[in-house]
Structure 1
């Protein structure tokens, strides 16, 4: 199967973050194109972010590269260096192991659409510098920075 039917691709709304961290990305919609194409080495998502929405909590990965390409609209990229406006045709890369938290915020009045590509590392640890959140699959998933696990979210 080479051609992917977007209408039948797995779709996920919101995020898997524990409460209350999930609220900022609640309006985010991801079509999991890499899953639809049976890719195993890297993931590809088509993402729609509504006005006011966040792509994620600000984060960085120990063992996963990330890349985004803006297809429509505009987003504000927030990193340790500050804020950068990204518009359709712009892209950004986040190499694994670089401790520079990043995320995007839609501060415009229209939805933004972007392509997200990243390494699939089932043991990938993720750091969230702004909030009491850490992700470590070997230790059960989402944890507080002191190692205490968050309860599973039910809604």
Structure 2
């Protein structure tokens, strides 16, 4: 059977970001649908974002492409161009290698639910333009290359 049993799908609550960069993402919850389906090249998550929480720190990827669609509620998409409110049915996409950092913030008073889809290329690197952080395949480093610790 191919239907995903949502009750059996892996769940990730919080973040692996090192302190202090973890604070805004501690309560986010991802239902890992792509993993539940056995997908290797595509990540698919149902993100539940409580009020006041962020989807991530603002970032961009060298090799991975990302797509988001708001299913319920409202979030603010923050990019280099500024801020845009996304509501249920609104979508956004982010090309690999485009150095326009992005993330979602829930500034509303109710939970937002977002579908996240992204490619999973090997050896991708994530850049965080606003903070002293880079994501390498084997963990987080500061921009000078000093390790934060294993992922």
Q: TM-score, normalised by structure 1?
A: 0.95
Partner of 2:143: 145
Unaligned segments of structure 1, at least 5 residues? none
Partner of 1:14: 14
Partner of 1:41: 41
- Give distance in 2, aligned partners of 1:121 and 1:141: 16
The structural deviation recorded for 1:152 is 4.8
RMSD: 1.0
- Native 8 Å contact 2:79 2:101 kept in 1: yes
The structural deviation recorded for 1:20 is 1.3
Runs of 4 or more above 6 Å deviation: none
Aligned residues: 151
Partner of 1:62: 62
The answer to whether 1:100 aligns with 2:100 is: yes
- Native 8 Å contact 2:28 2:54 kept in 1: yes
Q: Deviations over 1:88-126 (max 9, x none)?
A: 000000000000000000000000001000001230000
- Native 8 Å contact 1:13 1:30 kept in 2: yes
- Give distance in 1, aligned partners of 2:57 and 2:100: 13
Unaligned segments of structure 2, at least 5 residues? none
The structural deviation recorded for 1:32 is 0.3
